[in-house]
A and B are shown apart, each in its own frame.
Chain A
């Protein structure tokens, strides 16, 4: 099987990218190709990078508390860019009670503090396998 391609992006204005880097490194060590775009990405920048890089999954790291505005907006922009079939997963400080809202906004998975990197890796592998079998 070919290496999954994953975009790791940090939308919003907070400058804490340690979590995103830890995840990027863990996914690299799991044999994935990680496109790391850095801090302060707008929804448009994320959709553009996802399209050009033809990624299998988009991973967003959000610590600022703005997830309920940012994530649905990113999903919307990606859908408009013909990327409706590319799943989004979200990590960071996400209160338990916000998970449902995010899932309803079309997110494939939400990973709060304490999630192991193995869990995220396995989730991505499953997502990619499902995508490939759907053609």
Chain B
């Protein structure tokens, strides 16, 4: 497998595809470690929004436009895994058929495999592998998202939230959730009736309250522990007001404006976040997350299942409360 890293860095698409499979199956820790030094060059654009809002068509149009600007584009398209069978139908390629036959484009479909939050567990690692493979732009399309699938904000540099006309009144627009994470808002299918109302509702939302800064968003949405240890340097970044762009993705209308909006956001971050506050914050949270998983796995490996069963039974009989059971599980083994 060591050769895969070399082949990937030399541009082999087959090696890239293979490596992604190993990553997805949790079997590429060494390769990821070797590739990490080659990452950090690509700009990552997240595209999220409700099912049917036109995310795949927008990604298709966006990728074509970036190719016209001579940028190499990788696409990660995430679709949900069935909670019942563990299987998935990954159908985002259907809307991306215009992109075939271009070696400057690489599309990979990904099933969530039970992960909530709109992405798969290994989406972030996929981004890194593609980044190391030399793509200029990496577009991550989330599952059809509603009000809590906001993980994308920690994975993407620029998050594009796609809305379509007729998807709810203006109260929807001021609820917490997906609209808050937008760096760029898109009203897609803007040739349909109701587009102007949707546009107005979004603009009103933006006027009612200024969205949080990207740094605050990452800290808030990525909260993985009750107790937040703020090690990363914190500072005040100037606020960014998300522009609202109208598109008709299937006719490539408004796509140039969308590309300009993404570029403006990129420039805003590059000018105002020279010390990498946002990335430090995201790395901090990623480390907590990995730490939590690693500690749990280590605990599990040295835990006696019969003791666990006994405790479950005692909790069920109301002889012990759940939190005290956890305390026992932690003290009775492995003070290693």
Residue-wise, chain B 58-81 has the 8 Å CB interface mask toward A (1 for contact) of 000000000000000000000001
Report whether over half of chain A's contact residues are helix, strand or loop; otherwise say mixed. mixed
A52 pairs with B85, CB closer than 8 A: no
A38 pairs with B93, CB closer than 8 A: yes
Known: A51-B14, A54-B17. A36 touches B101 (CB 8 A): no
Tell me if A74 counts as interface (CB < 8 A to partner B): no
Complex Cα spacing A135 to B330, Å: 41
Which segment of B103-111, B158-166, B306-314 sits at the interface? Answer: B103-111
Tell me if A49 counts as interface (CB < 8 A to partner B): yes
CB closest residue in chain A, given B82: A28
Chain B: number of interface residues, binned into ranges = 20 to 34
- Give the 5 A-B residue pairs with the shortest CB-CB distance, closest first: A28-B87, A38-B94, A54-B17, A31-B86, A45-B100
Report whether over half of chain B's contact residues are helix, strand or loop; otherwise say mixed. mixed
Known: A37-B94, A54-B17, A82-B14. A29 touches B101 (CB 8 A): no
A-B contact pairs, 18 of them (CB 8 A): A5-B21, A25-B89, A28-B85, A28-B88, A28-B89, A31-B85, A33-B81, A34-B87, A34-B90, A35-B109, A36-B91, A36-B94, A37-B94, A38-B94, A44-B100, A52-B107, A54-B18, A81-B14
Tell me if A27 counts as interface (CB < 8 A to partner B): yes
CB closest residue in chain A, given B24: A2
CB closest residue in chain A, given B81: A33
Complex Cα spacing A48 to B82, Å: 26
B20 pairs with A54, CB closer than 8 A: yes
Complex Cα spacing A124 to B98, Å: 30
Measured CB to CB, the residues of B under 8 A from A are: 13-14, 17-18, 20-21, 25, 81-82, 84-91, 93-94, 97, 100-101, 106-109, 111, 113
Measured CB to CB, the residues of A under 8 A from B are: 2-3, 5, 24-25, 27-38, 41-42, 44-45, 48-49, 51-54, 81-82
Minimum distance in angstroms from A4 CB to a CB of chain B? 9
B25 pairs with A35, CB closer than 8 A: no
Q: Contacts of B101 on A, CB cut-off 8 Å?
A: 44-45, 48
CB closest residue in chain A, given B86: A31
A34 pairs with B88, CB closer than 8 A: yes
